[in-house]
Amino acid sequence: MICENHTRVTEFILLGFTNNPEMQVSLFILFLAIYTVTLSGNFLIVTVTSMDPALQTPMYFFLRNLSLLEVCFTLVMVPKMLVDLVSPRKIISFVGCGTQMYFFFLFGSSECFLLSMMAYDRFVAICNPLRYSVIMNRSLCLWMAIGSWMSGVPVSMLQTAWMMALPFCGPNAVDHFFCDGPPVLKLVTVDTTMYEMQALASTFLFIMFPFSLILVSYTHIIITILRMPSAKGRQKAFSTCSSHLIVVSLFYGTASLTYLRPKSNQSPESKKLVSLSYTVITPMLNPIIYSLRNNEVKRAVKRTITQKVLQKLDVF
């Protein structure tokens, strides 16, 4: 459909959080600090799990992929958000909006499936420990990681291409801090029922299907842990899963509030805060959670830092 008597939208205005200049500066400093911690923490996890010989296991292979995914996920939105906070014109082109939306859907879907692969890894490690190294071999882990990264491609292409093909002939102000599906959809000038049905079905599939796999895995894990004879064994088994459970709860909890209730009565400000939690806050917390609750990671970080310090001392 073409825009009769109207000019088709060629760019969007991202309204962001506030128009108050002082508040924008404060938010810029806050989010810049959070983004710095996010990049530093996730790159530290990638470096440590790549270099330390004690962390060359499937669990840390998937953790390394999760950290890389978090870096990509935040890279899609946060730099643009930071620029908009200090820029008088919060503009994004039509193509730029579609590109941002595509990669947001892609990395979000990929993270859902990667978290389910990590749950399966814990299931095999706890419920079938004697065959763990045979089942979770290098080849299977590699294909599971590739499958997770590529899983979001079809739905991302479908949702983005369909969305951007709809007519945008009227207002162009997106009441959000990035080009997310629901706020952009409000600007479409025709009935969007068919798209919304498809989007809800796709979202339900890409959130609930991986979550179901996680639920099944942890049901078996809990049953196995409860059957362990020693309290020490139960505590050790649960400690290997606790970090992953916290990350899953944070990511799925906030994402479900946004995408499984697209017609909710939440105010735009509330939706922005919920979106902020899984697009900015959760990627920062993930490496902190895995570092603080995992003794192997803490020891590996200490070894890596010590090694770097000694190398610098040798230079002098």
Domains and CATH numbers, the chain: 11-314 (1.20.1070.10)
Among the residue ranges 119-123, 127-131, 255-259, the one predicted with the least confidence is 255-259
Look at residue 109 and give its three-state secondary structure.
Answer: helix
Residue 309: predicted pLDDT:
59
User: Using CB atoms within 10 A of its CB, is residue 271 exposed (0-12), middle (13-18) or buried (19+)?
Assistant: buried
Average pLDDT over residues 260-266: 59
Rg, Å, the chain Cα set: 22
User: Using CB atoms within 10 A of its CB, is residue 315 exposed (0-12), middle (13-18) or buried (19+)?
Assistant: exposed
For residues 45 and 311, the model is more confident at 45
Instruction: Give the residues across from 11 on adjacent strands.
Output: 93
Do residues 214 and 117 lie in contact, with contact meaning Cβ atoms separated by under 8 Å?
no
Q: Is the per-residue pLDDT at 60 higher than 60?
A: yes
Chain segment 93-102, per-residue pLDDT in tens:
999 999 999 9
Q: Is the per-residue pLDDT at 296 higher than 90?
A: no
Look at residue 174 and give its three-state secondary structure.
Answer: strand
Chain segment 61-96, per-residue pLDDT in tens:
999 999 999 999 999 999 999 999 988 888 999 999
Q: At what angle do helices 231-259 and 282-292 cross, to 10 degrees?
A: 180
Mean pLDDT across the chain:
85
Q: Is the per-residue pLDDT at 31 higher than 90?
A: yes
DSSP string, 44-98: HHHHHHHH-GGG-SHHHHHHHHHHHHHHHHHHHHHHHHHHHHT-S--EEEHHHHH
Do residues 13 and 172 lie in contact, with contact meaning Cβ atoms separated by under 8 Å?
yes
